[in-house]
Amino acid sequence: MASKPTSAEPLSFPFPFSSFLLFSFPFSFRGTTTASAPLRLMKKFFAAIHSKPGIFSNVLKGSINGAGHRMLPARTAREDARFGCRINQGEILPDNTYHIYVQENGKGPHTRVLSSTRVDPKVDTEQDIEGRLRENWVK
């Protein structure tokens, strides 16, 4: 009975097949760890937030306008490119809390929601909200 290769042993292929693999793929699968697109977008988004002190405080203030209001960043081509996504506010609930939704910037009104959380402006801090957004982020 042949022994099964362990994860430490590389797989061996007959010579013609192994040379085909070597020359037909311009990249290697071994040892590569690339983050998914949503995770790269999360890093970009939070890096942009931390580059401007106090910008995240707008999320705590909320808006009287309620559902659909764009809270962060300003709607300019430059800011959209820098952040990669935006925070929209949901409707204000009877207990004065509201949901916020992080959505990809895209062409069209219906873009993917990457993360969401409920905000209570009386209790939550910027760090609480950021932690929950990171925790709920689409993988």
pLDDT digits (tens, 9 = 90+) for 1-55: 555 555 555 555 555 544 444 444 444 444 444 568 888 888 988 888 888 888 8
Q: 99 lies in a domain?
A: yes
User: Can you say how many angstroms the Cα of residue 49 is from the centroid of all Cα atoms in its chain?
Assistant: 13
In a domain, 2, yes or no: no
Nearest-angstrom CA–CA distance, 67 and 28: 47
Please check whether residue 83 lies inside any domain of the structure. Answer: yes
The structural domain count of the chain equals 1
pLDDT at 99: 92
Give the pLDDT confidence score for residue 3 in this predicted structure: 58
* Sign (positive or negative) of CA dihedral 85, 70, 73, 43: negative
Quote the pLDDT of residue 50. Answer: 84
> Does residue 100 form part of some domain?
yes
At what angle are helices 37-51 and 126-136 packed, to 10 degrees? Answer: 170
Q: Check residue 31 and give its pLDDT.
A: 45
Question: Is residue 17 in some structural domain?
Answer: no
User: Is the pTM value of this prediction over 0.85?
Assistant: no
Checking DSSP bridges between strand 69-72 and strand 85-92, what pairing results, if any? Answer: antiparallel
Please state the rounded mean pLDDT for residues 84-102.
Answer: 90
Check whether 133 has a pLDDT greater than 60: yes
Nearest to 44 by CA among 104, 4, 96, 131: 104
- DSSP secondary-structure letter at 66? -
Distance of CA 76 to the CA centre of its chain: 20
Judge whether 139 and 39 are in contact, CB under 8 Å: yes
Domain coverage including residue 65: 35-136
Domain assignment of residue 104, yes or no: yes
Residue 48 lies in a domain: yes
pLDDT of residue 54: 81
| Confidence label for 68 from pLDDT (cuts 50, 70 and 90) | confident
